[in-house]
Structure 1
Amino acid sequence: MDGDGAAAMRYTEARLSKISMELTADINKNTVDFIPNFDETEKEPVVLPARFPNLLVNGTSGIAVGMATNIPPHNLKEIINAVIKVIDDQIGDKEETTIEEILEIVKGPDFPTGGMILGTRGIEEAYRTGRGKIRVRAITDIETMPNGKSRIIVTELPYMVNKARLIEKIAEMVRDKKIDGITDLSDQSNREGMRVVIELRRDVNANVILNQLYKHTQLQDTFGVIMLALVNNQPKVMNILQMLKYYLMHQEEVVTRRTQYELNKAEERAHILEGLLIALDNIDEVIRIIRNSKTVQIAKSELMERFKLTDVQAQAIVDMRLRALTGLEREKLEAEYQELMKQIERLKAILADRKLLLKVIREEIIVIRDKYGDERRTSIGFDEFDISMEDLIPKEDVVITMTKLGYIKRMSNDTFKAQNRGGKGIKGMQTLDEDYVEELFMTHTHDYLMFFTNTGRVYRMKGYEIPEASRTSRGTAIINLLQLMPGEKISAVIPIDEYRDGEYLFMATKRGLVKKTPIKEYANVRKTGLAAITLREEDELIEVKYTDNHRDVVIVTKYGQCIRFNERDVRPTGRTSMGVRGMNLSDRDEVIGMQLDSQGSDLLIVSEKGMGKRTNISEFTCQNRGGKGVKCYKITEKTGNVVGVKSVNEDDEIMIINTEGIIIRMKCNGISVLGRVTSGVKLINLPEGNVVASIAKVRKGDEEDQQEEENEEAETE
């Protein structure tokens, strides 16, 4: 803070605090790997065991070629409580700890110099993405002196601000008359704390001067967060939840290796004690053998042969002192052996049960928290810039529609009422010649919408960024919202509330290729888009699904073929990879849709002439990917080709859209459940020359609409 120079190179010692020893705890128990140092005269640990997350607690900064890291320090109690939360969720088999839950525990960075963080927006951005800017302000107070003048007292500074240089900067600005009204500037800091006094003229407003100091000096500073660290020797920018999980993985390895080390030592000692107890049980014969042996080696050999001992046990017996023959010493050996047996049983249980291992980590980290934890030094205050447009937008479910010619709009979810099968529907929008509604889906105003195009690129928007329009309006051209390339059209839209570990995007192309990529690979999508998959010539991206690596994939073609296989048959690959063969297609056939078994118990298939049916997914047996599949829909002149497929349950609702823009909403329980090789029943009455364009599944939770529909029908009767 005062700009003191570093110690001379000859001073090689450093005084460490007590907690620093927790970083090296158990380092002599084979908990971490060692490598030769720079001149290969010594060995050094690759990483420290670290009983607390030092990278987050102490923070760090550094720069290398093409990358930099700048992790702020945090409060020990808060970080350890966050680790405990992650552990508790894993012990309790909770699906996933969320960043929102971590944000409730970790309020923000906690700088050793105190200060006040302005608002939470920068904190949330940094914790969610691994990058962000946090504005920190000095703690000040305005006092009125006996002579009527005011003075500003600075008691805490932003992190890494040099006090001496700050005072020089203020003095320089006063000399250059950039700040007018300061009469005296003094540093009254001592061992009791920091105190910088800025005296003002009687005729100036102290708050105005203070705001000028915030604007032009480091009394208000910005801490740029870059949470970059090495993961498996690869640099990676991580959000706070990822850092906590990687720390927990490190601790699991450390405690596992320590437990194995202690188990080995305990078993070695127990082995020796077993030999000593055998010797004490046969002490007269042991003494005779040793007395009659010419050398120690001969004595060991005879003991090993006579009592079936190992070399280690025999050596311990010949090294045994005479005092071990007393009854008291024997009792001590037996007590030690019994204690070792209990210890061995406990250590083996830890190694065999991950939940028990996590409980050990939890207990140890709680000890660290209770022993060294302190209260926050950095407060978090209000920032007038903290209110974003997003905060003012209500959180609600919405309907998004897109037309064949690329017009998109957002509507309220209650715009459409549920109807019975075979209804005429209501007008969804006014369309021009050769244009019709091609996509309709449900999302949330605050969700990210990931737009995947037929050319294999991905774009991203928030739900509320799509302009709202009436039911009958055409909407906004999507090229005015997304920077689409020529010839691109939207193939799939995935709502994402958060990019989590262990979750994937599963893709299918028109030519039957499939690909699975971690969702995190798509966390940073530029406005100009990002390559999502590499496609061969004449191939297109047809469908994208959000999954967790535990689902069965069902692919359906326009000629009514279907294949079902487990998504684990497809190994995860990088964002720009091409994928692998998912289905072997016949000539001129192509994929029209892909569903997951988790989306519903039945497979709803709709043809272009308005026919459709439900078939239980259990009728489609799992097979290896890459096969031709089985027949799932009977194609006739009356049905036309398959145009849409959805996984549904009894209580789901769907929307069917024809090429004229007519939309009908119906309950799935009104659609017949039929066998695999059938054509189904009439779902929508189509005007002459029109066909079904697409289908969409309605989100649950629309009971009010249904009740209103029933009331209207009752009034009509």
Structure 2
Amino acid sequence: MENDELHNDEHENQDIAHGHAKVIPVSGMYEDWFLDYASYVILERAVPSLEDGFKPVQRRIMHAMKELDDGRYNKVANIVGSAMQYHPHGDASIGDAIVNLGQKDLLIDTQGNWGDIRTGDSAAASRYIEARLSKFALDVVFNAKTTNWQLSYDGRKNEPINLPVKFPLLLAQGVEGIAVGLATKIMPHNFVELIKGSIDILRGKTVHLLPDFPTGGLADFSNYNEGLKGGKIRVRARIEVADSKTLLIKEIPYSTTTQSLIDSILKANDQGKIKIKKVIDNTAKDVEIEVQLATGQSPDVTIAALYAFTDCEVSISPNSCVIIEEKPHFMGVSEVLRQNTDNTVDLLTKELEIAKSELLEKILFSSLEKIFIENRIYRDIEECETWEEVLETIDRGLTPYKKSFYREITTDDIIRLTEIKIKRISKFDSFKADEQLKGLEEQLEDVNFNLDNIIDFAIDYFKELLKKYGKGRERKTEIATFDTITAAKVAANNAKLYVNFKEGFIGHGLKKSDGAEEVQECSDIDDILIFFKDGRYKVVKIQDKLFVGKNILHVEVFVKGDERKVFNAIYTDGDTKVTRAKRFNVLSVTREKEYNITKGSKGSKLLYFTANSNGEAEVVGVNLDPNETARIKSFEYDFADLDIKGRGSQGNILTKYKVKRVALKKEGVSTLPAIDIWFDEAVGLLNRDKNGKYLGKFRDEDQILVVYDTGEYELTNYELTNRYEVRKIMLLEKFRPNKVITAIHYNTTQRTYYVKRFHIETTTQGKRFIFINEEAASRLLLVTTQKAPIAEVSYKEGRKKAKAKVELKDYVEVKGWKAQGNKLPYEKGVEAELLTEDDPINDEDMMAKKQEAEIDQQREGGGGLGMF
């Protein structure tokens, strides 16, 4: 080995002698340098520490601000300069980090224009804005006695390794960072909920944390996954209906700004996904974006479209990554909170132990001082000639008392006694000294008690934080569960579907002048269902112009999963020559794949076809070939006798004889049962998926009754795209005209409470009618459609609260919907609560049942395309 090394050295020397440099493979250099660079970016720039929740730049800013702190505001430019002593990067990055901290409104008190996270406006230059540490930061972030220090990058100063933060700061502020091959994205959480969560952890309870965003809005955390990679949060703007032509966006999704949101709305409008007239940004103290709708556009459908096609709904993917002992770890937010809570307990324990040590020292020296003065030891040293003799004399005088001290008396303790001034000795008050010692001992007793009960002490600490700083930090983001909005259902009909039967083209770019016929309105993201005369059918994506083939029979926009769309057909099978009838749905297909109404055998022929939007079943006349031997050559067939089956069913045998002609005899009526509808209060939408409150069975003409807290009622259809503002709704149910509305309301003009009972007399759909006094302060206390409602009415009687039960049915007669009602004999502080439960949904009177039965018998629906 030694010879090999000598041989290599010889060659190296020869290479250098001949002017050749030593060759080092680039791959090796790249591997080492890149790893160093990646480690540096992860540990020193992008990812926060679990212990204090800070990235290095944030920690250095906080330390610099603490050094500058004198209670007054400092120019941010000065803070940047001070932080540069510790952070070896440019002033711009430090300035941006300070602004980011200041906008979180927790650790820094700001003064000047610090920008606005809602609008995206940037802060003024650092020389124009000022900052100082907040009282909260001074309370929870700093303690030099419990801080571990290290040398700064140039070795001139000390900086904290981690700040002793006694609060789950990382989760409160949230953080985002991109490193090399690694990223972190921790959502901000609610201040109050974090403190309560820490208290629950200390009490041994399980904690479930959900983010809270400073921009408010609504958020679905169903797939939050503890903030770990793979989770997803859906955040929505809060949109209110101002009137039938105006929407107001009051809160925006986290990670968006009012400007980016407006841009996305305008883009969706330009693409034809939504139809709006104008967008106005009225944001000042509060966010308000006014969206003016185009003529004829439904507010509810537009709201759903805004969520589907704009930044009114965004998806955020969290990725909770933190630094623990100089290594990145992926950790759920509940575990982060638990470790932060444990860290707070450890820091509080250290502070108590330091306080205990300081108290013991104070008690020790106060006792030494008392002994030194009361026993006149100071006089014994008057005759001493050397310093050593002085120390020995004092030590000898203290010897009888040494056993009572918690530690040995040192030379430093004795020297400290010699430094007591004569004035203090001459004015020494033994009683005051005893009182002082007693006070110190009581403090020590308290500290020892807290150390023995450290968990209870930590709980009290968190409670005090909540009491001191929790006001005004309530949750801003509403927790909700969102339905999945199908884009095709809410896309604005920005185009028209045309078909050229002769040439075999379909699309929204065709023209009537070219021989195309208009089929229906559509959007540019729809799928189109095409039936051909030979029985084939398929679904294609709509395009400007698309050749699909000649012999087109029927074209329409395809609605996936529409069970009420029923196709009736009669065909003759090519193999068996048997003629069959079938009724079928087309619920789902593979795009561009061909299917067949017939069995697909050669020579099969489609004789009759209709497309029925509500499951209509018509009666047809069937004529057999005159040459057939059948006794009856002409008969009627009612499609109502057929069950509706899947698209692959072969159908029932109609006849084995050859059919000459099939023609429509009688228009059909729907054979489908009424639809069961539920109302999901979590999302404010109707559904057929059994989510939420069951409203009942609905037929074509049925409506929904909505009563709002403003004292207004409205009748709506039962389209599943309808969206209702749950917070403003006091009653939502199936509308039954025979039912009586009972209400308790306050008339602010007369300063009187009333009970009224009335029927809905209006028939206009989608318009609100107010049935109480229209003055702003008038309000609706209670509303119900129960047959015999009983309410518990609370009211003020002098300084006391009293209660009374009121049988509302007997209190007032049924009158017109504009009637005032009868007065309640109470004047102040009236509140009302229903004591009776809602009537069963199918408990309808006999008249209503009879009416529904008659409607079923008389209902008539549309036909179809008929024979071709």
TM-score (norm 2): 0.39
Q: Which structure is richer in relative contact order (CA contacts within 8 A, separation 6 or more)?
A: 1
Name the larger-Rg structure.
2
The TM-score normalised by the length of structure 1 is 0.46
